[in-house]
Structure 1
């Protein structure tokens, strides 16, 4: 849920927009050659060729408006559907007023001529009145229906991907020039997202070629403009308004309008997928990636599987993204992919933290009972949650006691005896850990340990006996280092195998990982019998679980048992 909330924040604040834009541009470049502009749309360019050729009779740019008037009259003879100028005629020509009157009369007499207006001082406080000021055509009497906005909608990265179908200026709605030339009317003010055409795919003519055809009355050439929609705009170097688009870093503005007109005429502009569908899809992606972490496997495996799932999800989303292109559906792939990436990273971080806390807790608990290497193995391969409850397991229990320790401590200096005891116990605990045993507790000078939990093994009995044999050797070597007064130091070790109740026993202030049951009691009683029989005594139940050799010692009836217990000692 946390991942989903974070993604919703990113979604509503458009934090993945730049990645979505990059993927959109990439898709447009890959799809551009598959798209064909409508045949009725023609682009007439005021290019460098036209500027050079027109100098001899029209002078330098801007040309007298009578030039455009003659062009309109010549083209209208062949009944084009529309002629639109992506040229701002916002100021009268004070030096050639007659030319302006001629141009004005021609525009007024035709109902298929559209001139450009440009909104100024962009504001984003409301939908209406985006442009309180504008550069209108200088023709005061011009019908507003013959004006079309040429404003472009640049995104934060200054790239034009969307197009205004309608703008508001002084509470009056004006359709864009692209919509005007296409006879397209939008019911709302929502910008459209364009499917971009290759510039070279448009039918393009140089302005001077058409003007010469009009001047020479070249009917064969001009016939091709019958029933066409003609868009006139500048492409000459230094003359056109440079626009960055998904397919070009410096496209003439006239081709933005041409692309918009092509989208209107073909009905191919993108339709955005509803927010609810995007949110639902993101939720499913998050759940899909997050579900990997619900399984009780190692974090490395979870992360690896999640990465594989993430890659497959991203490939699938990208594939769907490409499939949707012909259907004019726009899907925010990067934003959706962000949901899966967030799910992967945040779940990994959260699971890492949870496992870290679990390991810290387990290490704190088991560090007192087990060898550090065993603890590490336990934490790496076991489910730590299972240690919160008790269970019945088969173990081998070992009791070891120093014989006559009470009288020994009474006859010698207490601090000296305590130091001796600590050295002895440290040595024996190291041996228990060496053989993967679990230290249960110290009972005075006695040691209780067991094998088979928490790490369950099949050879727990043999590990316990081998540990006892090494503990015996430890005693011999340790005693050799002591003064004569401690040469009577000896031990007894009793071992028994069977079922026990194993788990944490105690309170929040003090927890012990221990074993309980008749098996424990019998192992303790067997250790007590070592005083009269042998230093190491093993029951038949333990011996039969090992591959070691034993010597029979005795059969003894112990307290709490109806049948005598067979005692053995391992061969040295």
Structure 2
């Protein structure tokens, strides 16, 4: 084993003498190829970006405060238990929700948004359904979700885009194009500018970071529920062409779960129906009221950048908040910036070693520059709502710096004297002694 180590050491010495400073060029070329493969195939840099983004978003110095005019009426476990004796656990007869809407409307809310899909009729309570439909048909500020199904099923659907009221279309839009989606069962909900998708599309690692603001298929523009509600709050009709928002909006989270103002559905429902009310009669005046659920049994929990257990209704609230205030997060990313920044750092580091820049100064400059770039990313997301993704390029530069540093130490003349090779022989065998010279 010792002889093998000795032979390997001698081979490395010969190799370094032969390559000299050209080693740094070869190393940079290798890193360039690996980086290009990652950008096009493996996407390791993208995964690192997501993790660093999650860390910085979760640990911002100051979070943007939730809009106080957004209230979540929570069908929580307590509500399910409180109303179970009279209406069953879930689903309740639609009459319950109809009474809630009718009573809340007396307080003149800005909007009432359902985070509930009403896909089918309640065949056991037709009168209840009729009452609910009558209530929402008489309102002009109730909003309902469309559940967008997988686009691969579009050709199997009989629902045409042209049948959905309020959609905008391009000049060459296919008038016969079909869409796989679940619309509200109730005719009173099928109004222009009152419907939108509420689908959440996680990234490849299963984490929700973005919200699809609109779909653009077959020349038709299908808005999301946050877009419809956000534009309604600005007293504007939904027009995709005039929306200053990206199709996939990076969410500007307002904090950990339950950062918004929550009220229990059963508490509000009971008080609204009571003759002796204890709650403010202006509790929902000019508010965006979102009706959804955090009950564990209804399984509306999403893994997000902020928490692995994040209420789905609060994801919707965050998206509405971002659209309303236009303060969604922006990110400097993409293949081109990633490649260019990586090339810059890789080759700048390489040339510093190749041209033998003063080692102590370069060590200080390199270390401080990498830390400075990370600080720049952190400051950007705290002050400007812009995330400058430099994680991948920095890691490429650090990896190259580490290998180049080891090579530089191995070839340094002063350090070559650090090792001395001696041979000690006896009658039976020979051993190689490696000892430092101080």
Q: Which residue of 2 aligns with 1:47?
A: 76
Match of 2:119 among 90, 114, 123: 90
Q: 2:224 aligns with which of 168, 176, 183?
A: 176
Assess if the C-alpha contact under 8 Å between 1:87 and 1:233 holds in 2: yes
1:156 maps to 2:204: yes
> Alpha-carbon deviations, 1:424-482, whole Å to 9, x = none?
xxxxxxxxxxxxxxxxxxxxxxxxxxxxxxxxxxxxxxxxxxxxxxxxxxxxxxxxxxx
> 3-state SS of the aligned residue for 1:19?
helix
Task: Tell me by how many angstroms 1:161 deviates.
Answer: 0.6
2:197 counterpart of 1:139:
no
Cα distance change on mapping 1:117 and 1:207 into 2, 3 Å: same
Match of 2:185, SS state, is: coil
Which of residues 94, 98, 109 is equivalent to 1:65? Answer: 94
How many residues align? The count is 354
Report how far residue 208 of structure 1 moved: 1.0
Aligned to 1:208: 266
Q: Normalising by the residue count of structure 2, what TM-score does the alignment of the two structures yield?
A: 0.71
The answer to whether the Cα contact below 8 Å between 1:78 and 1:225 also exists between their aligned partners in 2 is: yes
Distance 1:108 1:290, change over 3 A: same
Question: Alignment partner of 1:43: what SS?
Answer: strand
Paired residues for 1:225-374 under 5 Å: 225-273=284-332, 275=334, 279-296=339-356, 308-325=364-381, 326-341=383-398, 343-344=400-401
Task: Work out the CA distance in 2 between the residues paired with 1:133 and 1:166.
Answer: 15
Q: Does the 8 Å CA contact 1:7/1:338 hold for their aligned counterparts?
A: no
Checking the alignment, whether the CA contact within 8 Å between 2:374 and 2:391 is kept in structure 1 is no
Identify the structure with the greater strand proportion: 1
| Alpha-carbon offset, residue 219 of structure 1 | 8.3
Deviation at 1:9, TM superposition (A): 4.2
CA-CA distance at 1:314 after TM superposition? 2.7
Local SS of the residue matching 1:181: helix
Instruction: Determine helix, strand or coil for the equivalent of 2:209.
Output: strand
**Offset, 1:55:** 1.8
8 Å Cα contact 1:270/1:329 also seen in 2: yes
Unaligned residue ranges in structure 1 (runs of 5+): 360-375, 382-572
Q: Which has the larger radius of gyration?
A: 1
Taking the aligned partners of 1:94 and 1:11, their CA distance within structure 2 comes to: 54
Structure number with higher relative contact order (C-alpha < 8 Å, ≥ 6 residues apart): 2
Matches of 1:340 and 1:131 in 2, distance apart?
49
Q: Are the equivalent residues in 1 in contact too, given 2:251–2:329 (CA < 8 A)?
A: yes
* Gap regions ≥5 residues in structure 2: 1-27, 155-172, 233-237, 418-438
- RMSD of aligned residue pairs (Cα, Å): 3.4
Counterpart selection for 1:7 from 35, 38, 49: 35
- 1:92/1:378 CA distance change after superposition, 3 Å: closer
Quote how far apart the aligned CAs of 1:378 are.
9.3
Q: Distance in 2 between the 1:315 and 1:377 partners? A: 31
Match of 1:556 in 2: none
